[in-house]
Amino acid sequence: MKPLGPIPAGFAGRDGILAIDGIKVSELIAQVGATPLFVYSSAMIRQRIADLRAAMPAELALHYAVKANPFEPLLRLMAPLVDGFDIASGGELGMVRNAGIDPALVSFAGPGKRDIELQAAIAQQVTLNLESAAEAERALTIAERLGKTPRLAIRVNPDFDLKGSGMKMGGGAKPFGVDADKVPALARRIVESGAEWRGFHIFAGSQSLDAAAIVETQGQTLDLAARLADEAGVNLPHLNIGGGLGIPYFPGDVPLDLARIGDMLGERLAHRPKVLAQTQVCMEMGRYLVGEAGVYLTTILDRKESHGEIFLVTDGGLHHQLAASGNFGTVVRRNYPVAIASKFAAPVEEEASIVGCLCTPLDRLADKGGFPRAGVGDVVAVFCAGAYGATASPFAFLGQGVAREMLV
């Protein structure tokens, strides 16, 4: 048997069935009519943000990275809970606007912004995190044409990365951000242009479960921001120090020690360099805020045996939950937390692989895990499905269509 990832704290059964915010998944499925279904728990998201606020220095602003999960009811839930939203496309700008979010609270990063996206962002007072000097010139030209003062920040490609992070976003040659040595000249150019100068965005990595590495990176980030601002001779109204906080997906993963990160960041901010004295510092996070609050539910359509191995074939799969299949940025496939939701209290009785309905061997949601005996009609829960699930998976593959989503 291969181990399964750890089920996030806070999930419990009722009458032997997995419940989310106290409601049995059988009732949730009946409400929407069918699986596959993503369910997101608003109580768990609220709790997560409250825990973060309690652990982090009071002055730290928290931003939500929309690409983790742009489901409109979830964006509406987030609006009063966070201080800002980070988007990465014009499409996401439309999504935050549809959710009623004030565009003045939005910042837009991402390489390859089209003119039409820059125009929409500038017209709506969205802060642009500029990815290159050429993009800065395009933004200034578009702003001039619109007769608007653009709100401009520079995304810095730092000379370091977040050690042990699942996805490296800085250090060396990267398509993201402006190399640190070119930043001071560009910052002066922006300030002299008469644009509203917003500061720096420095994002060094993602999905780290190593508190010491996060603390080290935050220190390096503050030092780099101060050095670049000094060199440029500009002030720094705002500094986005990135996020990088990971969640446990796999066997042996341990949740982060938030208190330690918060205490160390508090220390750093208390002794920050003079040039950062007036700077509003923020962290941006996606999966840490919503990842563990989401569950993907799928129903078993077939139970079969092949060469002595049991396969539970579901109506879901990698077209909704690519990451659980091991095909979204992981090197070695390991099992996500997966359970038989309709037999949540039952003991492990057999080894089985849970597969999706796509005709490809990649479509495996659990490989040789230990489960209670399950069959046709039983419901499978894949946990840690609140981020990079529905919108980060190839739903059009094999004509299977989208999953339903609901916020409880």
Query: Residue numbers of the site for ligand PLP (CB under 6 A)?
Result: 65, 67-68, 86, 109, 203, 206-207, 243, 284-288, 387
For ligand PLP, give the closer residue by CB, 222 or 285: 285
DSSP 245: B
Residue nearest to ligand PLP (CB): 286
Q: Spell out the residues 6+ positions from residue 322 whose beta carbon is closer than 8 angstroms to its own.
A: 328, 388, 392, 393, 394
The DSSP secondary structure of 310-363, one letter per residue, reads: EEEEES--TTT-GGGGT-SS-SS--PPPEEEGGGTTSPP-EEEEEE-SSSSTT-
Catalytic residue among 282, 357, 359, 384: 359
- Measure the CA–CA gap between 73 and 395, rounded to whole angstroms: 20
For ligand PLP, give the closer residue by CB, 8 or 286: 286
Distance in Å, CB of 72 to ligand PLP, minimum: 18
Distance in Å, CB of 58 to ligand PLP, minimum: 21
Distance in Å, CB of 406 to ligand PLP, minimum: 21
For ligand PLP, give the closer residue by CB, 65 or 215: 65
Q: Spell out the residues 6+ positions from residue 129 whose beta carbon is closer than 8 angstroms to its own.
A: 107, 108, 109, 110, 153, 154, 155, 201, 240
For ligand PLP, give the closer residue by CB, 243 or 337: 243
User: What three-state secondary structure class fits 398?
Assistant: helix
According to DSSP, the β-strands at 350-355 and 309-314 are parallel
Q: With contact defined as beta carbons under 8 Å apart, do 208 and 162 qualify? A: yes
For ligand PLP, give the closer residue by CB, 155 or 404: 155
Q: With contact defined as beta carbons under 8 Å apart, do 103 and 93 qualify? A: yes
Residue 337, phi then psi, degrees to nearest 5: -70, 120
Q: Spell out the residues 6+ positions from residue 305 whose beta carbon is closer than 8 angstroms to its own.
A: 311
For ligand PLP, give the closer residue by CB, 236 or 256: 256
Residue 346: other Cβ atoms inside 10 A: 15
**């606020």: which residue's tokens?**
53
Specify whether 359 is catalytic.
yes
Distance in Å, CB of 201 to ligand PLP, minimum: 7
Positions marked catalytic: 359
